[in-house]
Structures are given as structure tokens and as C-alpha cells.
Amino acid sequence: MRHGNVNRKFGRETNQRRALLRSLCRSLVLRGKIETSEAKAKEIRPMVEKMLTRGKNATLANRRAIISEIGESAAKKLLKTAEDYNKRAGGYLRIVKMGPRKGDAAKMALIEFV
């Protein structure tokens, strides 16, 4: 039974799916906004927001956890971004729905920092 399994699979095995989501998180942090499918945007939103919340309290353990998730260069940028959101309680990202992709009519979305 699949009770409680609400995460999306994206037609990939576990390690491939984790690599995809990490790559999307890294791209979002480095570029500030990315255009991706709506399902992928909804899946990476809580991941990035949790990392940003950890970055607001940048202890050594929190910094190392962020580096292990998205790499060192993206982690440095995320920690700088976390300083900007110090007063904000949450909701750091915005998902804007866009039109369907031309090739396969997949729902597309723009995910960006608020």
C-alpha cells in the first residue's frame, strides 16, 4: 500500500531523482529563478525553503548540511540570500504558473525568490 507516499517519482529511480532535485535546487539558488515543470517546482520548493531557514541560523552544522545538499558555491550564495530574509518568517519562494510547453504540453512554472 502507498499510504503516506506523497512524493513525486518523475519516472526515475531514487538516486536519479535525488540528483535531479539537487541540480534544480542548485540552479535555483545560483540563478535566482528557473523555469521548469510545475510538478518539479512544487517538489523543490520545500527543499530550498528548509535550506534557507537553516541558513538563517548559520552554525557550522547547518552550513555543512547545506553544503552536502547543494555544493559549496551554491551554499555560499544561499547563505548570503538567507541574510536578506532574516526578518521573514517563511514563504521565500514564489511559483508562477505559465503556459504549457510546446513539445509535450507539460504544465510549466517559473519558480523564483520573493
pLDDT tens, position by position, 3-16: 888 789 999 999 99
Residue 3 lies in a domain: no
Containing structural domain, residue 36:
14-113
pLDDT computed for residue 4 by the predictor:
81
**Considering the entire predicted model, what is its pTM?**
0.92
Residue 21 lies in a domain: yes
Task: Look at the chain and report how many structural domains it folds into.
Answer: 1
Q: What is the CATH number of the domain that holds 24?
A: 3.90.1030.10
Residue 4 lies in a domain: no
pLDDT computed for residue 1 by the predictor:
85
Can you list the residues of the chain whose pLDDT is less than 70?
none
- The span from the CA of 42 to the CA of 94, in Å, is 10
Which of 91, 92, 93 is closest to 111 using CA atoms? 93
Q: How many Cβ atoms from other residues are within 10 Å of residue 26's Cβ?
A: 20
pLDDT computed for residue 99 by the predictor:
96
Give the Å distances, CA to CA, from 52 to 17, 24, 41, 113: 21, 15, 16, 11
Q: Which helix (H) or strand (E) holds 63?
A: helix 60-70
